[in-house]
Amino acid sequence: MRKIAFIIAIAFVLSLVIGLNPTEAKEPVKIGILCPITGTQAVMSEDLLTGFKLAQEEINDAGGILGRPVKLIVEDTETRPAAGMDAARKLIEVDKVKIISGGFSSGVALPIAKYCQEHKILAVFQPPTSPLFRHVGSYIFLTNVLDNYKGKVIADFAVQDSGKTRFATMFMNNAFGKALMDETLKNLQKNGAQVVSKVVYELNKVDYKAELQRLFSKKPEAIIATFYAKEGLVTAKQAYEMGMLDVNKVPWYVPEMTSSFASAIKKIPNVLEGIKGLNPLPPGALFMEKFKKKMGREPITAYAAMNYDALVMIAMAANFANSVDPTKVRDALWKIDDWYRGQSTGGDKRFDKDGMQGYGKYAKVIIRNGKIVPYKK
């Protein structure tokens, strides 16, 4: 019954303005998609694109946007700011898209967001989480929870779970890493913990031994660190080889478990045993069913469902506004968000006044026998 109700609800909202009309012969509505097909998070790309494609298929089957099919134009950000900007400029200046989604990394998506705001291009990003997005402007929306909340949750979790007071931290040197580090440090201090070593590392290196030595130089009692998949693989391997991943002596806590170890958990799962951290809540059961039917497996990341939600909400807003004008679609996003029960971050997709995700939770997880599983102390 839940599946039938969900399908009826989506079909009703998507066809609210247009009715269930065929879309084949009409000019498509182009939506630009920014995805890390290569680079440090390439391991995520298949899942991320599948989330968009599942939404695209459902939208078009329900009549599209204003009776027109949705066409996705995908560009590779390479998980690099410069490449991401090139991809965004190509979508906007060459392909003439007026609406963009995707983005993935805050460090990549933040300059793109500023460019979109300047050109009045609607951008619905996921899963960037930097609080800096809040101040970019009214054409920018996020479907993931900001780092203000994540930094508090990981700090509270690490202190309360470990019972330790001397922490060392390791975050990447970009907008995402800096924002999450600032929030984590602030909340560690509120918990009465001392940060004895703060390591900020550069992306795309093949050796992090020096950074790991600095991380442990002041004999911390616990570690909080986050990575992208490529850096997570290199760092975990080297930390293990250096004897720094004995979590019974010095526990590790990771604010983004899946995105940090998506590669490592495939290639060296044994070295990750016992690492604890956070993940977005799993996608809704309906999305999991659709994804598994299409791909023959479950998604490796909850971010696929965020992409699905973003595209469905864009289509709902355009149909409600009876327009594909980015300003009108933007204004309608604040009106349709109450109606839609999403498949990510617990389902509540309401935006706050700045277009940020207003609600959401994180799951506490641990790596056991090569799998990320729910954690209970």
Q: Where are the domains of the chain?
A: 2-147+282-361, 148-280+363-374
Query: pLDDT by residue (tens digit) across 308-366?
Result: 999 999 999 999 999 999 999 999 999 999 999 999 988 999 999 999 987 778 999 99
- Give alpha helix (H) positions in the chain: 2-14, 45-61, 81-89, 106-118, 147-162, 175-190, 209-215, 229-241, 257-261, 264-267, 285-295, 303-321, 326-336
Amino acid at 222: A
Amino acid at 171: F
**Exposure pattern of 145-156 as b/e (b: 16+ CB <10 Å)?**
bbbbbbbbbbbe
The answer on pLDDT for 3 being more than 50 is: no
- C-alpha to C-alpha distance for 269 and 298, rounded to whole angstroms: 18
- C-alpha to C-alpha distance for 372 and 339, rounded to whole angstroms: 32
The answer on pLDDT for 55 being more than 80 is: yes
Please confirm whether the linkage preceding 299 is cis (ω < 30° from 0): no
Query: pLDDT by residue (tens digit) across 162-204?
Result: 999 999 999 999 988 998 999 999 999 999 999 999 999 999 9
Q: How confident is the model at residue 10 (pLDDT cuts 50, 70, 90)?
A: low
Global pTM reads 0.83
Query: pLDDT by residue (tens digit) across 282-291?
Result: 899 999 999 9
Two tokens at 140? 């920018």
Across the beta sheet with 122-126, the strand order is 70-76, 29-35, 99-103, 122-126, 140-142
Q: How confident is the model at residue 25 (pLDDT cuts 50, 70, 90)?
A: low
- C-alpha to C-alpha distance for 45 and 169, rounded to whole angstroms: 28
CATH of 148-280+363-374, one of 1.10.3720.10, 3.40.50.2300, 3.40.50.1820, 3.30.2010.10: 3.40.50.2300
Mean pLDDT of 118-131: 93
pLDDT over 70 for what percent of the chain?
93
Query: pLDDT by residue (tens digit) across 199-253?
Result: 999 999 999 999 999 999 999 999 999 999 999 999 999 999 999 999 999 999 9
Q: Are 53 and 72 in contact, with CB atoms under 8 Å apart?
A: yes
What pLDDT is attached to residue 18? 44
Give strand pairing partners of 167.
Answer: 195, 222
More confident position, 39 or 137: 137
Query: pLDDT by residue (tens digit) across 62-83?
Result: 999 999 999 999 999 999 999 9
Region class of 66: left (phi > 0), else alpha (psi between -120 and 50), else beta: left
Rounded to a whole number of angstroms, the CA Rg of the chain reads 21
Which residue has tokens 């780092």? Answer: 147
Spell out the long-range contacts of 145-150 with Cβ–Cβ below 8 A and sequence spacing 24 or more: 145/280, 145/345, 145/357, 145/359, 145/360, 145/361, 145/362, 146/356, 146/357, 147/176, 147/179, 147/180, 147/183, 148/183, 149/360, 149/362, 150/180, 150/183, 150/255, 150/278, 150/362
Asked whether the domain spanning 148-280+363-374 has the same topology as the one spanning 2-147+282-361, the reply is yes
Which residue has tokens 């700045």? Answer: 354
How many CA atoms within 13 Å lie on the side-chain side of 346? 13
Look up the CATH superfamily of 2-147+282-361.
Response regulator (3.40.50.2300)
Mean pLDDT of 30-36: 97
Surface-to-core class of residue 94, CB atoms within 10 Å of its CB (0-12 exposed, 13-18 middle, 19+ buried) = exposed
Q: Are 302 and 1 in contact, with CB atoms under 8 Å apart?
A: no
Two tokens at 155? 């700090």
Q: Are 109 and 125 in contact, with CB atoms under 8 Å apart?
A: yes
Mean pLDDT, the chain, rounded, equals: 92
- C-alpha to C-alpha distance for 296 and 277, rounded to whole angstroms: 27
